Amino acid sequence: MFDFLEGYDLLAAFWTTVQLALYSAIGSLIWGTILAAMRVSPVPVMRVFGTAYVNLMRNTPLTIVLLFTSLGLNQTLEVDLFGGESDAVNFQLAVLGLTAYTATFVCESLRAGINTVPVGQAEAARALGLSFTQVLFLVVLPQAFRAVIAPLANVLIALTKNTTVAAAISVAEAAALMKEMIEMESHAIFLVFAVFAFGFVALTLPTGLLLGWVAKRAAVKR
Amino acid sequence: MKFRRTTAAAAAVLALSATATACGGGGDDDKIKIGIKFDQPGLGLKTPDGKFTGFDVDVAKYVAKELGYDEKDIKFVQAPSAERENLISRGDVKFVAATYSINDDRKKKVSFAGPYFLAHQDLLVRKDDNSIKDAKDLNSKKLCSVTGSTSAQNVHDDFAPKADLQEFGGYSECLTGLENEAVDALTTDDSILAGYASQDEHKGKFKLTGLKLSDENYGIGIKKGDTELQGKINKALEKMVKDGSWDKAVKANFGPANYKYEPAPKITEKS
């Protein structure tokens, strides 16, 4: 029944999906934290930049963001990032686009987390003579992160599924292989769908369960 | 209580939409539904004002007329490549004329009439580029095609395994790269390439290499085993070639690209 899978490297395709999700997750966690810090900072220019970036980026369709990295940055402006074969460049462009987009959601989750930390804590830290950065990174953010693990898990799951858009700029991940198999093995189209749907469930369900468990353990009891 | 009310409302909406679709599906036996591409200039294209143009469309109209339907009774349905078999086997369309190459895998699920056109996989390059004379030249070139397409597969597997192949979501993205010299060639069936090259915004920028990398016999997809319909469509196609409408349709749709098309192929799909 599953003989149509022969000759296709399903694992390699899903491995690319996992790598895309992993690199973009790390990237967007870092960039998202910086954005969140900007949005709560006392410097007006940073607040304006953070707000403008988040609102612009999260309201732009991801397909357009990724196509821009490829058609705009790479093909027109000839930006090669870390270089390499065009497969590698496309992968890097996809990570860049996914990071730029997902960071906005990480930022907004974090900002919600910051709001769960009682104002008294920041005031007490200020009274001790800590600077804004020290207050943020030593007192507020550690508690904020623990409050938003579950929402961040949602962002990560959404990111995993969003990696399928990278097929549009020639990254050989799961969705690209699915398109290939639908074209070549059209007699088994529903089985092809089922296989890929199962693949994504296998990636996202454990993520949700694991991070849900972590969220319960790490939450600050108030 | 509030929750229950929402559920009831949701159920009502679902039921309503179900009946709505049911209404749309039945009760138009005097109409004929035909699957074509909506996004392929020269073959099957839905224009902004809702009209349909292209060679596949002309063939579909001719065949429908021979089957006894008025032009106003034709309803064109979008048939993306991946959906074609399902549209036919579910009975959503009477037949599909959408750059549908006849091959054995597809014949497992549908039957074909025709072929009505012989296309070849080819390359579209910039007008001043003469560096590709043979399929082997591709190994050192940047090539562009559409994710999951048969043409991309052929390059991988047969012509030039070492070619740097970029696969985008659509051919338009490839054309941007081709114009900016980010890729050297765009590959797919020459009929499709000719359609893009003769679009107003691209006229005079690109040319076909004429390498004839494969044979693609476009057929008309019909329900598996419907030999009666197959015979009727074949007769219509033969008539179309004989009375000159076929030549006229080819010239009208592929003319501006200087595309050297093949003569009408012999009907092979008989039962």
What pLDDT score was predicted for residue A86?
A: 81
What is the model's pLDDT at position B22?
A: 46
- Across the interface, whether the CB atoms of B152 and A182 are under 8 A apart is answered no
**In this structure, is the dihedral angle defined by the CA atoms of residues A134, A135, A138 and A141, taken in order, positive or negative?**
negative
Structure tokens at A71: 């058609």
Q: Rg of the Cα trace of chain A?
A: 20
Q: Which residues of B touch A182 (CB under 8 A)?
A: 82, 148
| Min Cα separation B199/chain A (Å) | 21
HSE of B114, CA atoms in CB hemisphere, 13 A? 29
Token readout for A97 is: 């686009």
Percent of chain B clearing pLDDT 70 (strictly above): 87
Q: What span, in angstroms and rounded, lies between the C-alpha atoms of A39 and A111?
A: 8
Give the Cα separation of A115 and A39 in Å (integer). 12
Longest Cα separation, chain A = 70
For helices B171-179 and B190-197, the axis angle rounded to 10 degrees is 60
Rounded Cα distance, B60 and B117, in Å:
13
CA distance A43 to chain B (A): 41
Closest CA–CA distance from residue B169 to any residue of chain A (Å): 5
Cβ distance A168 to B169 less than 8 Å, yes or no, reads yes
Is pLDDT of B5 > 70?
no
The one-letter code for the residue type at B60 is: A
CB contact under 8 A, B106 and A186: yes
* Among chain B residues, CA nearest to A189: B82
Q: Which of B213, B38, B251 is nearest to B124 (CA)?
A: B213
The pLDDT tens digits of the residues spanning B105-154 come to 888 889 999 899 999 999 999 888 888 888 778 888 888 988 878 888 88
Span B40-92, pLDDT tens digits:
888 898 888 989 988 999 999 999 998 888 888 999 999 888 788 888 988 89
**Number of Cβ pairs < 8 A linking chain A and chain B:** 73
Closest chain B CA to residue A80: B182
**CB atoms A184 and B177 under 8 Å:** no
Could you tell me which residues are beta bridge partners of residue B53? B45
Q: What is the mean pLDDT of residues B215-222?
A: 91
Q: Residue B251: name the closest of B47, B52, B58 by CA.
A: B58
Question: Would you call B147 an interface residue with chain A, using a CB distance cutoff of 8 Å?
Answer: yes
d(CA B134, CA B43): 27
Strands B121-126 and B206-208, bridge-based pairing: antiparallel
Predicted ipTM? 0.72
Neighboring chain B residues of A174 at a CB cutoff of 8 Å: none
Choose the closest CB to B173 out of A71, A167, A187.
A71
B contact residues 97-116, partner A, Cβ 8 Å cutoff: 105-106, 108-109
Q: Is some CB atom of chain A closer than 8 A to the CB atom of B156?
A: no
Total Cβ atoms within 10 A of residue B56:
32
In which region does residue A220 sit, left (phi positive, over 0), alpha (psi from -120 to 50) or beta (all else)? beta
Contact A75 B150 (CB under 8 A): no
| Chain center to CA of B131 | 29
Among the partner-chain residues B81, B150, B166, the one whose CB lies closest to the CB of A170 is: B166
Q: Quick one: what percent of chain A has pLDDT higher than 90?
A: 73
Q: State the nearest Cα–Cα gap between B61 and chain A, in angstroms.
A: 26
Count of H-run helices and E-run strands, chain B: 9, 13
Question: CB distance from B148 to chain A under 8 Å?
Answer: yes
pLDDT tens-digit series, residues A79-135: 888 877 888 899 999 999 999 999 999 999 999 999 999 999 999 999 999 999 999
pLDDT value for B13: 53
